[in-house]
Amino acid sequence: MIFYEYNGFCLCPWCGEIPTEAVPVDECFDPLVFVAHYPPEEHRGVFRIGQLSELDAPETVDLLRQHQAEPARSALERFVLKHGATVLNTAFSNAYDVLKAMQKTAPFRVNLVGLGDVGGTVLTGLKLLGKEISEIGIYDPNTAQCQRYALEMNQILPITDGQELPPVVVRDVDALFDCDVLLFTASLGVPAVGSAVKDVRMAQYARNRDMLAQYAKAARDCHFTGLFAQISDPVDHLCRAVFLASNRDEQGNFDGRGLLPEQIQGYGLGVMHARAEYYAKQLDLPFGAVFGPHGQDLIVANAVDERYDDAISQRLTQATVAANLDVRALGFKPYIAPGLSSAAISVLRTLRGEWHDGAVPFGGAYFGCRSRMTRQGVQLEQLPLNLQLQARMETVHRTLREFDYDG
Ligand SMILES: NC(=O)c1ccc[n+]([C@@H]2O[C@H](COP(=O)([O-])OP(=O)(O)OC[C@H]3O[C@@H](n4cnc5c(N)ncnc54)[C@H](O)[C@@H]3O)[C@@H](O)[C@H]2O)c1
């Protein structure tokens, strides 16, 4: 096996493209990167593996299953078991630049697009809790709203004397991708409280997709290497729409010259987790985990292993999915728990490298689960999944994969 040194990484060719400047070395060293080439429209771009057998694992829900670690037979298998490794898909032209950007540590520069109800709540959370943020840039076409938030946010006291809270500045639309993380909460037409619209999230898809296309193109044009945190609805579908739009040329052909799939994460599952725990307590039922989209197809499980009970899980799922309607029935748009649980807290956990709820890509769809952002790439939480639960998850993943994103 041949290894190369490149910018402090140890590259191991796996059908992908090795840069011409890479220098051959005799032995493998940490951090190890398998340089692969997979079909970019369907496959992941940069992710962490904990054992060598995961290198060519099919892109299905089975990636979330905990597999028994096989005894290491070769030196390379032992190395991956000990240190983990990155898989980098060089079918994406920005693959190496994104790998380099992923090594960045705090402080992070964050920009927030959209200052409606959700955006304002996210901003408040980031301002108060974002100790790893150096500056928060804000943008909304409503300039008075921008100025109002710049004034109000910069007049908040810290809880401890001398503690620095991140300053908030109004950002020009042309400078939005000059940051490490862009949070997107903008929306065109959230159905009003009391409207007859049945699915308030999917009703926003086409207009929000079209609005997001210009931001996705801007990310492509400036070779953005940071994280695009998608918060507006329908979260999971829009993640895929942003990915596709950023990777298409002027003629609409997919060319892999835009965002890697992991550069986009959907932030809608956090509030579903919080709601599921809330209703589990109310109903005196056990809570295990949440999976899938921030919407009708959400899955709440009372447990992920052999204790999984489909009837209990369906009860929890129904209560959680209807939670936003409970707030709407009182005459209010739900945005406080979402802005904090789904977005501010989950994004901050991402930046801290902690496990968090969110939609991450595999197999041509964005799927809600727990993951963490490591310097080796996105790591999926692997669990001893009950087979009935896994079948439920596979059905939902298939629905997301088969959705007509251009329709
Ligand atoms: N992820 C979650 O958990 C979660 C939960 C609740 C709601 N949401 C979603 O968040 C989104 C925002 O909800 P809201 O209540 O804040 O809506 P809102 O109508 O209060 O605010 C939308 C904002 O988007 C701005 N905007 C419109 N066009 C824009 C553009 N082209 N560029 C930038 N900004 C633009 C508007 O000026 C407005 O400030 C909705 O899609 C909503 O369904 C997500």
Structure tokens at 258: 């835009």
Residues 151 and 212 reside in one and the same domain:
yes
* CATH code: domain of residue 329: 3.90.110.10
What's the pTM?
0.97
Identify whether residues 261 and 167 lie together within a single domain: yes
- What's the pLDDT at 184? 98
Give dist(CA 41, CA 55) in Å, integer: 18
Q: Would you place residue 72 in the very low, low, confident or very high pLDDT band (cuts 50, 70, 90)?
A: confident
Owning domain of residue 76: 3-101
Contact 184, 342 (CB under 8 A): no
pLDDT band at 240 (very low <50, low <70, confident <90, very high): very high
Span 201-215, pLDDT tens digits: 899 999 999 999 999
293 lines ligand 1 (CB under 6 A): no
Confidence of residue 193 (pLDDT cuts 50, 70, 90): confident
What is the distance between the alpha carbons of residues 339 and 335, in angstroms, rounded to a whole number? 6
DSSP string, 202-250: GGGHHHHHHHHHHHHHHHHHTT--SEEEE-SSSHHHHHHHHHHHHTB-T
Q: What is the mean pLDDT of residues 330-356?
A: 97
Do 136 and 255 have their domain in common? yes
Is the CB of 59 inside a 6 Å radius of any atom of ligand 1?
Answer: no
Distance from C-alpha of 336 to C-alpha of 164, rounded to nearest angstrom: 24
Residues 211 and 342 occupy one common structural domain = no
Q: Is the CB of 40 under 6 A from ligand 1?
A: no
The answer to whether position 407 is within a domain reads no
Q: Which of 236, 266, 296 corresponds to the end of one domain?
A: 266
- Asked if 148 and 197 sit in the same domain, the reply is yes
- 289, pLDDT greater than 90: yes
CA distance 139 to 39: 35
Does 310 reside within a domain?
Answer: yes
> Can you tell me which residue has the tokens 């994004």?
347
Domain shared by 116 and 261, yes or no: yes
Residue 14: predicted pLDDT: 96
Q: Which amino acid is at 392?
A: R
Ligand 1 near 232 CB (within 6 A): yes
Identify whether 274 is part of a domain.
yes
- The residue contributing the CA closest to ligand 1 atom 15 is 117
Tell me the average pLDDT across 127-131.
Answer: 97
**385, 391 contact by CB (below 8 A):** no
At 1 the pLDDT is 84
* Residue 227 near ligand 1, beta carbon < 6 Å: no
138 within 8 A of 175, measured Cβ to Cβ: no
Q: Which of 195, 197, 232, 356 to mutate to test the pocket of ligand 1 (most atoms within 8 A of CB)?
A: 232
**Shared-domain flag, residues 147 and 229:** yes
In this prediction, residue 190 has a pLDDT band, given cuts at 50, 70 and 90, of: confident
Terminal-to-terminal C-alpha distance of the chain: 46
Residues 261 and 290 occupy one common structural domain? no
Look at residues 76, 101, 126 and tell me which one is the last residue of a structural domain: 101
- The answer as to whether 305 is a domain residue is yes
Band of residue 200 on the pLDDT scale cut at 50, 70, 90 = confident
Do 116 and 88 sit in the same domain of this protein? no
* Per-residue pLDDT band at 68 (split at 50, 70, 90): confident
- Whether the predicted pLDDT of 230 surpasses 80: yes
How would residue 69 be classed by pLDDT, with cut points 50, 70 and 90?
A: confident
| pLDDT for position 341 | 98
Dist. CA 209 → ligand 1 center (Å)? 13
Same domain assignment for residues 148 and 251: yes
Nearest by Cα to 198 from 316, 292, 325: 325
Q: Which of 117, 118, 210, 332 to mutate to test the pocket of ligand 1 (most atoms within 8 A of CB)?
A: 118
Determine whether the shortest distance from the Cβ of 241 to ligand 1 is under 6 A.
Answer: no
With a cut of 90, say whether residue 136 has pLDDT above it.
yes
| Averaged pLDDT score across all residues of the chain | 96
Question: Given pLDDT bands bounded at 50, 70 and 90, which one contains residue 108?
Answer: very high
Tokens of 325: 């309607």
Q: Which of 52, 78, 101 is the last residue of a domain?
A: 101
Give the distance (Å) from ligand 1 centre to CA of residue 277: 25
126, 140, 150, 144: which is closest to 172 by C-alpha?
Answer: 140
Tell me the average pLDDT across 79-89: 97
How many angstroms separate the alpha carbon of residue 113 from the centre of ligand 1?
A: 9
Tell me, what DSSP letter sits at residue 342?
I
Q: Would strands 108-113 and 181-184 be described as parallel, antiparallel, or unpaired?
A: parallel
**pLDDT of 95:** 98
Q: How far does residue 110's CA lie from ligand 1's centre (Å)? A: 18
Among protein residues, the one with the nearest Cα to ligand 1's atom 39 is 116
